[in-house]
Chain A
């Protein structure tokens, strides 16, 4: 666990952000394997996040534990065995809650930072 926390700090992503990103990613893209999720996050952030792709796996485990995403084995586009993740109903609810929180926070931060200019 400790190692995981450290790895999070090293990628400079605020704690909990990765979870929301993964949830949102699965929400908009549907079923995805770990590689797909990592790829998608990279594209969306336009490579700004610089996160080690391996770090998403502990996040995936954490989300499964909370029951927000589900996993199953399946075949990839080129017919290879891969583990696919999809968002669950409670996951969608959680995403809505977190999105709202983020919007409030982002708005506040934006106003605050604009004021200080």
Chain B
């Protein structure tokens, strides 16, 4: 089946007119809504220069024109994350990409929403936390590498904190935005809207977005079956200024995806639903010298239903629902003494993770087969975090530490007995202590900036690593069994960054090194019999004596004129274990270069991304040599003023030459999207 990528033809034959109509209705009827002029706030919140963090901006500062700053507004959050310098994404389809940082995945990462801990409910990582929010909810995503991310939780690779967008008592009054987008390749339709009210006393932000996409087509026109998805997301944020010094904030997100295909996996998802809520109290002044006191209580609940009902042929029909509920809190305050800026935080969360599998035998006279794949594990983690930022002459020092207690409780007897098949002496409860210490130093020379850091951290096994029961991994075609007696994984980390700036030209050379002791990975146990029909074997999570990983990158930016900007990035990664064996999912040499033009009314980008051959791969984990590729994309944007209101149109063409390719992080080598034409329209009512 071949698809022609003619936009005109698509308009004629698809649902696109509905979306266009939607926009015109908005133009006609909503143009005369009266509202106050938005006040733009150009100040970024004070990022300490010493942080080697990357901030992925999702909404622009001029809030009413949401995504103008982006080369592809209304793209999925996954695409935003992928455009970052540090985050890479494992893809199992068009939806719910799984973020990696420093070539390490979710179990080594702390992923939070506004500091809230939240855990996916899928045993097969089909629902990373990033799939339960949408760009419409967020202002930015903060990426902290290594132990610099320890503020939100114990981590090895670092932290990704998705920060919610809030009007924050700016006197903007009523504002509204309507947005719509369409992509030709997978007939993706996006409709979203925002309605916000904000003044000095009170604000309420609401947004809603709907995405629906059909199967996508790889380069050359091959249809990728089971890559469709549909998703709704709505959120509300409110704040009330109790007194000059005190604020009460609340946030709520509802996110639901249906009929999500995972072409790289043998199963799909019929429902992935999250309710995410929080309430916070913020006080500028606290006790004595303590300031910026913030306390948050939060709760979230996830339901994830994996099934294979849409697959025409399977060895056996199965349902694999999972649930994950998390309740937590944190409370933090700041203290400034001379040239020291302290931040202290206490936090805790309580999570329950339950997942089950029911297999329907092909012989209808036989009983269903049932197992608990996550045995209702209750995780309780509480701890404290302390950091001190010291301002030095032409430099800065940051010292931070976290200490936490984490306990696991296998509450379900059925699940406990299941695990006891492998570990007859298993105790129901266990407690671990987790620690993190890091020191970062920054020295500023005239045009040179030098950052050096050293850190230690550890983490407990994830629920799957500790308690998973026959979790099938379709990448290496093995069933995985957890080991509750795993040791904590410990990392010794070193990092550096050298930055040089000269008249519009900046260059940064950055690297980090992770020496991980008791590295947790699945190893084949040839004595065990496979459960999944067609699997090659069973792996049990084990501690390797150590693994080493390093990442290097060179990042350049040249401002040719005030409007025209060129940037480039090359990265190199390497990961091996104690036997010199390659670690899985380590990126080959990659590069990216981009030319951006941006003036008041017009914007455009031309970008080239690519990678060299993946020569360092691990066949034992299902990897093979991924071929080199290079992809060219471009986008153009234009702002129109319609009375007081703004209309912003952006069009773009991705994978210009319709290249057929897959990357090292594409599950089972599923091809990526071929040529794709996208168009978005944003209409802001001021």
User: Do A and B come together as binding partners?
Assistant: no
> Which residues of A approach B to under 8 Å, CB–CB?
none
Interface residues of B (CB under 8 A from A): none
